[in-house]
Amino acid sequence: MSIALGGCLKGPPVEFGITEDTGGHITYVLGASVALAARSDVERIEIVTRLIDDPVLGKAYATPVEPLGVKLSIVRLDTGNRAYLSKEANAADRPAFIAALSRYIAGLAIKPDVIHAHFADAGAVAMAMRERFGIPFVYTAHSLGIDKAGTGDGGVGLGTRIAEEDAVIAAADAIVASSRDEAERQLMLYPGACPARIHCIPPGAALQSPVTPDLDAARALIAPFLRDAAKPIILAIARPVRKKNLAGLVALYAADPALREKANLVILAGLRDGPDCGEAEQRGVIGGLLAAMDLHDLYGSLALPKRHTQAEVAALYALARESGGVFVNPALTEPYGLTLTEAAMHGLPVVATCHGGAADIVAAMRHGLTADPCDAAAFASAIHQLLDDRPAWIEASHAGRTNGAARDWDGYAERFSAVARALLPVAAPDVTPAFTDLLLCDIDNTLTGCLKGARRMVGFLANRPALAFGVATGRSLQEAERLLAEWRQPAPHVLITSVGAEIYWRRGGRLVADDAYARHIDAGWDIAAVEARVRPLRGVRPQPPVEQRRHKSSWFAHEPAVVAAIRAAVADLPVRVIHSHGHLLDIVPERAGKGAAMAWVARAMGIAPDHVFAAGDSGNDLDMLSACHNAIIVANHSEELVPLLPRPTTYLARRPHAGGVVEGMRAWARRRAA
């Protein structure tokens, strides 16, 4: 059961922008539900929302049950207040919704196994359902107040919203985030967040497969606004709310005569009947755009259509591509940005905000540039760059289409289903597995890199029930889980992440953080002191915020002299400096590191050191492989591991990647047998 309270929720075609809260989360809820309903391991999907009876919005939202397929339907509950309510006004109606949902679930012959709550208001409802019925819940935030506060667009009641979000984050059985930035930075700003319960699962894009677009319909939609419709199109599609920064986009366009000369600006800012319709923020944003058109005399070069269909939106993406234009997302902060994925699928290059999860999409799709919308000149320069560099435009367009096609709702549903299944109660096993050996593997270029080797690894592990399997990686927990799923590797019994700064155990299908280890390595750790020493040094710069951790300070450092300077700068601090891949440098507590974490895990499992095996390929595996009695270095190793090759405790595999790990394990088995 999915719960979504905000906006106007109906089956396709969705009326995006009919209210200021009817945005991308509707695509998410519907896309995820349709894909889950198509799975054989899902019996039924219900989307539950408020019943709204408003003649302006239409009868669709007053229909109690809207079937969307054999196994999927939207259920609208009557709370006694049938008016459309904004996100803020919904709070007063929530007790009535909780009561209505409780009655509904109590009357079901088969109750939901899992509830998926969208936004914190639905999370609070899900908490009440778990308390009464014992149903676990998954939380997806979509947009977090703590990031909105950072834009200066807080507004009244933001503190209350953040407190409610923290309560839901702390209580959720699992959290599904859409991007690394959301999973590893935004959510972790909340005191109640725990990485072990956060899963990064990027959503798909469009609700339907793209059909042949009607370019004439798109031209007709914008023709009344434009003097020279043949110019490239700068296209923006966003809800009319301040954080989307549409006014800032118009301002930078107006201030750049060269940009106005070479391209038209087309903005779809929701649906409206006039400037005085809709909610207060919606009216303010639309009024500001119309006023800016007049103030800067943008008649003939700025199009602001009042209404549009989903088919016309798809056609506008295609028309912008045909014109040699770009899609822009100038949001002050963007939790994810489904429109960027939609642009990719249409082959339309993008310029996106660098704040939030949009950068993840652009990095994955490789279909454009990111820039700071608060720096109007820099953002405009990025637009110019794509418009003027035709080879770069073509490359971005091709990459978007190729990579966008690979990001679909079926892949999302597969991973979400696994997360949900882990929340279901299971009978305790009669016998706890007795592990006699432990294998810890690096992920990048050790387990990954060769599909044949990865399959060999799966078969090897499946036939050794007494061998505990774990990973030791420089990656975050979420990235480790993503890569292991991509390469179809079995779920590890233990994950050592962030170059040995964090340990997570798998208990009954769920991950649990090793808080005792965190307390152990915290002794003497002062990350502020580390950063104060390193930041002023020349030739070093910090890695992005998403790579930083409580017990890990991460930097880029290429030159050996720079690495030496960093080591000297922190020499008197209780820290460990780890340099790998020629440019990545991590500083962790002295008690941390992959080697220390390996020893901690072995002791916790009661496995003797000579029954521990470790495999790796790069410098961040150095301390683990040095300390291991049965080290395996795969054939594709970096130069950083060459000093370990002569050691009797090291086996150098002839094969690269996971095939080399299997080769090494069999070689060590032969040595032990001899």
Query: Nearest CA to 48 among 72, 82, 19, 81?
Result: 72
Q: What is the mean predicted confidence (pLDDT) over 165-183?
A: 95
| Average pLDDT estimate for 473-478 | 95
List the single range of 21-25, 90-94, 322-326, 365-369 with lowest mean pLDDT.
Answer: 21-25
Do 315 and 213 touch, CB atoms closer than 8 A? yes
d(CA 407, CA 420): 20
Say if residues 539 and 557 touch (Cβ distance below 8 Å).
Answer: yes
Q: Are 595 and 631 in contact, with CB atoms under 8 Å apart?
A: no
Q: CATH classification of 527-589, choosing from 1.20.120.1770, 3.90.1070.10, 2.60.40.10, 3.90.550.10?
A: 3.90.1070.10
What strands lie across the sheet with 510-513, from one edge to the other? 510-513, 502-507, 494-497, 467-472, 437-441, 612-616, 630-633, 650-652
- Name the E strands within 231-301: 233-237, 264-268
pLDDT of residue 509: 79
Task: Report the DSSP pairing between strands 302-303 and 368-371.
Answer: unpaired
Per the rule left: phi > 0, alpha: psi between -120 and 50, beta: everything else, 337 is left
In the prediction, which pLDDT does 204 show?
85
- Over pLDDT 90: what percentage of the chain? 77
pLDDT value at 336 more than 70? yes
| Residue 285 scores a pLDDT above 80 | yes
Query: Would you state the pLDDT for residue 224?
Result: 93
- Joined tokens for residue 135: 């149903």
**Cα distance between residue 119 and residue 87, in whole Å:** 10
Please provide the average confidence, as pLDDT, over all residues in the chain. 92
Which residue has 């790998």 as its token pair?
Answer: 580
308 backbone dihedrals φ, ψ, rounded to 5°: -160, 155
Between CA 176 and CA 199 the distance in angstroms is 5
Q: How far is it, in rounded angstroms, from Cα 178 to Cα 453? A: 30
Backbone angles phi, psi at 299, to 5 degrees: -60, 130
Which helix (H) or strand (E) is 441 found in, with range?
strand 437-441
Write down the pLDDT at residue 364.
Answer: 86
CA 266 to CA 263: how far, in whole Å?
Answer: 10
What pLDDT was estimated at residue 147? 77
Q: Which listed CATH number (3.40.980.10, 3.40.50.2000, 3.40.1350.10, 3.30.479.30) goes with 215-407?
A: 3.40.50.2000
Lowest mean pLDDT among 194-203, 276-285, 302-311, 455-464: 276-285
Tokens representing 158?
């933001």
Q: Does residue 222 surpass a pLDDT of 90? A: yes
Give the domain ranges of the chain: 2-200, 215-407, 428-521+592-673, 527-589
Measured CA distances, 284 to 20, 152, 208, 254, 308 (Å): 11, 17, 32, 19, 20
230 pLDDT above the threshold of 70: yes
Task: Output the CA torsion sign for 624, 627, 632, 636.
Answer: positive
Asked if 215-407 and 428-521+592-673 have one fold, the answer is yes
3-state secondary structure of 541: strand
pLDDT above 60 for 328:
yes
Half-sphere exposure of residue 358, counting CA atoms within 13 Å on the CB side?
27
CA 134: distance to chain centroid? 28
- Average confidence (pLDDT) over 143-151: 77
377 CB contacts (<8 Å, ≥6 apart)? 252
In 3-state terms, what secondary structure has residue 190?
coil
pLDDT of residue 18 exceeding 90, the answer is no
Q: Are 70 and 40 in contact (CB under 8 A)?
A: no
**pLDDT (tens digit, 9 = 90+) per residue, 354-397?**
988 898 889 889 999 999 999 999 999 999 999 999 999 999 99
Specify the residue for token string 């690495």: 563
The CATH class for the domain spanning 2-200 reads alpha beta
Considering only CA atoms, give the Rg of the chain: 27
User: Do the Cβ atoms of 661 and 634 come closer than 8 Å?
Assistant: yes
List Cα–Cα distances, 489 to 272, 462, 469, in angstroms: 50, 11, 10
The residue length of the chain stands at: 674
For 538-553, give one letter per residue: b (16+ CB within 10 A) or e: eebeebeebbbbebbb
Query: Tokens 């016309």 map to which residue?
Result: 312
pLDDT tens by residue, 592-602: 999 999 999 99
Kindly state the average pLDDT of the residues 204-223: 79
Mean pLDDT of 169-190: 94
Residue with tokens 């290429």: 558
Among 162-166, 267-271, 539-543, which is the least confidently predicted range?
267-271
- pLDDT at residue 274 is higher than 80: no
d(Cα 657, Cα 673) in Å, to the nearest integer?
Answer: 25
Q: Is the pLDDT of residue 134 over 90?
A: yes
Q: Does residue 426 carry a pLDDT above 90?
A: no
User: Is residue 206's pLDDT more than 70?
Assistant: no
Model confidence at 427, in pLDDT bands (50, 70, 90)?
A: low
Inform me whether the pLDDT recorded for 525 exceeds 70.
yes
Give the percent of the chain with pLDDT over 70: 96
Residue 556, strand partner residues: 541, 584
Residue 639: is its pLDDT beyond 80?
yes
Tens digits of residue pLDDT in 544-603? 888 999 999 999 999 999 999 999 999 999 999 999 888 999 999 999 999 999 999 999
**365 close to 341: Cβ distance less than 8 angstroms:** yes
pLDDT of residue 225: 94
Per the structure block, which two tokens stand in for 463? 């036939």
Q: What is the mean pLDDT of residues 500-523?
A: 94
Cα angle 563-569-572, degrees, rounded to a multiple of 5: 125
Q: Which CATH code of 3.30.70.120, 3.40.30.10, 2.40.110.10, 3.40.50.1000 fits the domain covering 428-521+592-673?
A: 3.40.50.1000
Environment class of 665 (CB within 10 Å of its CB; exposed 0-12, middle 13-18, buried 19+): buried
326 contacts 235 by C-beta, under 8 angstroms: yes
**pLDDT score of 156:** 59
Residue 312 pLDDT exceeds 70: yes
Note the pLDDT of residue 154.
Answer: 53
Predicted confidence band at 335 (pLDDT cuts at 50, 70, 90)? confident
- What residue type is 103 in one-letter code? R
- Backbone conformation region of residue 126, classed left if phi is above 0, alpha if psi is from -120 to 50, else beta: alpha
